[in-house]
Structure 1
Amino acid sequence: MEENKKNSEPRQRGWSIADFEIGKPLGRGKFGRVYVAREVKSKYIVALKVIFKEQIDKYNIHHQLKREMEIQTNLSHPNILRLYGWFHDEQRVFMILEYAHGGELFKELRKCGYLSEKKAATYVASLANALAYCHEKDVIHRDIKPENLLLDHEGRLKIADFGWSVQSRSKRHTMCGTLDYLAPEMVENKAHDYAVDNWTLGILCYEFLYGSSSL
């Protein structure tokens, strides 16, 4: 497969599954699976997230999924995974995402235990920059963790999975995210804002340098 940078991004149009060659699975979640895929005409490599409508109905996540796609589509930052578009058929919803060749940062942490000061500083700076960009646009991610931080073919960090994200200037009350990374105000079931992302950034900074027993 050629590197993405040698090809133009996939064109915006009415998509269908026939527009893609599907490759190996990259992972699976509660609602579906992710595959590496290639857009037939441009030869551009993407990640195709497949969500089953049966699961969307079962867990009543219609609004959450719509919000996720609207927010991520409108974010354009070198450290945020791009969402190029989406389409659906009778059984599935497909999200066309930027392909992060390096996979989850979680895997690197699990393999190495902890990171060098230089690498940790690079990741923290990238994440802080991306979060500042999100917060300027009133977007709170609310689920920053190593599993949701991906690495591209150059090792550049990319924030992914905006399933719990919200765009709002007012404080929120929904309890969400991953237990180990919850900010105090969320644990205490109090109203929260973008500061919950900053709390998680601090936890990750510690984990990058000293490791975590949960890894």
Structure 2
Amino acid sequence: MADEEWSLADFEIGKVIGEGKFGKVYLAREKQSGYVVALKVIFKEKLKKYRFHAHLRREIEIQHSLDHPNVLRLFAWFHDQTRIFLVLEYAARGELYKMLKSLHHFSEKRVATYVASLASALVYCHKKHVIHRDIKPENLLLDVDGRLKIADFGWAAELQAHVKRQTMCGTIDYLAPEMVEKKAHDQSVDNWTLGILCYEFLYGFPPFEAEDQHDTFRRILKVDVVFPSSPYISPEAKHLISKLLVKDSSKRLSPQKILTHPWIVENADPSGCCKQ
């Protein structure tokens, strides 16, 4: 969809459903079809202030090119004199982060379903040479059926064969060791993050969390993983985590192999939906 095909007049605007650094996200309905979407409004003045134009352009190009059940769709974009509008898939159940904070931790079946959904999305993204680099609960949304969607491709990058990236980006608790050491990295940083998320979903907090940032970095570099005695977590789930949280990036379990891991095969819902 080219930007000139759409304007704000094509939509009925509803309530605010999200807010970020550059603007707000509104519930909206496309007038002609009645289709409900999320309309992200970004102010050009703020983009200019933070010199984020190129960053946003890359985000739009990458997310618009992706079409997978576990990746939030970017249907179209358009702009006026002061604002840029992104027409996004509406995820009715909102951020996974809020659900995790409410429930404190998830069951193994729910975690296996979410991890399988993430692995499936990463198989797709990595085949298209896209790495996300900032997968965390705040960037994971749930649709009306409880299906997980990866959102916010602000730190995503396109990775050509045998070429690594240099930018240190993402969120501290989820950084892979090679990023902490400011070394070149590839798609395996996403695989590391799946290990972090699997742990966090099961226990309610990320594995290397510490009061001081330097302590978090130290624990990441040592791969200092501690499995608490409560809640009880099966050995199979711990085995998967231990195969993902590996300092040598070349030895981390790939998304394809995550999908065939016995714990995932036994526990994940094949539909990818968690309605309860």
TM-score when normalising by structure 1:
0.92
1:28 aligns with 19
How many pairs are equivalent? 205
Match of 2:5 among 14, 22, 47: 14
Matched, 1:81 2:69: no
Measure the CA separation in 1 of the matches of 2:171 and 2:3. 34
Q: Which has the higher strand share?
A: 1
Match of 2:157 among 153, 162, 166: 166
1:181 Cα deviation (Å)?
0.5
**CA RMSD for the aligned pairs?**
1.5
- Identity level (%): 67
Q: CA deviation at 1:27?
A: 1.0
TM-score, scaled relative to structure 2: 0.72
Structure 1 moving runs of 4+ over 3 Å = 10-13
Please give the alpha-carbon distance, in whole angstroms, between the structure 1 residues aligned to 2:51 and 2:101.
Answer: 33
Indicate whether 1:57 and 2:48 are aligned.
yes
Deviations along 1:111-148, one digit per CA (max 9) or x if unpaired, are 00000111000000000110111001100001000000
* Equivalent residues of 2:2, 2:77 under 8 A apart: no
- The aligned runs of 1:133-148 (5 Å cut-off) are 133-148=124-139
Tell whether 2:190 aligns with 1:197.
yes
1:69 counterpart = 2:60: yes
Give the gaps of 5 or more residues in structure 2: 210-276
What is the one-letter code of the residue matched to 1:59?
Answer: Y
SS at match of 2:16: strand
AA aligned to 1:29 is G
Q: What is the letter of the counterpart of residue 116 of structure 1?
A: S
Superposed CA offset, 1:164-200 (max 9, x none): 1011221001111111111110011100110111111
Cα distance change of structure 1 residues 13 and 45 upon mapping to structure 2, 3 Å threshold: farther
Q: Could you tell me how far apart the structure 2 residues matched to 1:33 and 1:172 are?
A: 30
What residue number does 1:186 align with? Answer: 179
Give, in whole Å, the separation in 1 of the partners of 2:171 and 2:123. 21
CA positional deviation for 1:31: 1.0
1:93 deviation in Å?
Answer: 0.2
Q: What do residues 20-40 of structure 1 show as CA deviations (whole Å, max 9, x unaligned)?
A: 111111111111111110001
Indicate the residue corresponding to 2:103 in structure 1: 112
Give CA deviations for 1:40-85 in whole Å, capped at 9, x if unaligned: 1100000000100001101111111111111111111000000000
Task: State which structure, 1 or 2, has the greater radius of gyration over its C-alpha atoms.
Answer: 2
CA distance in structure 2 between the partners assigned to 1:66 and 1:51 by the alignment:
12
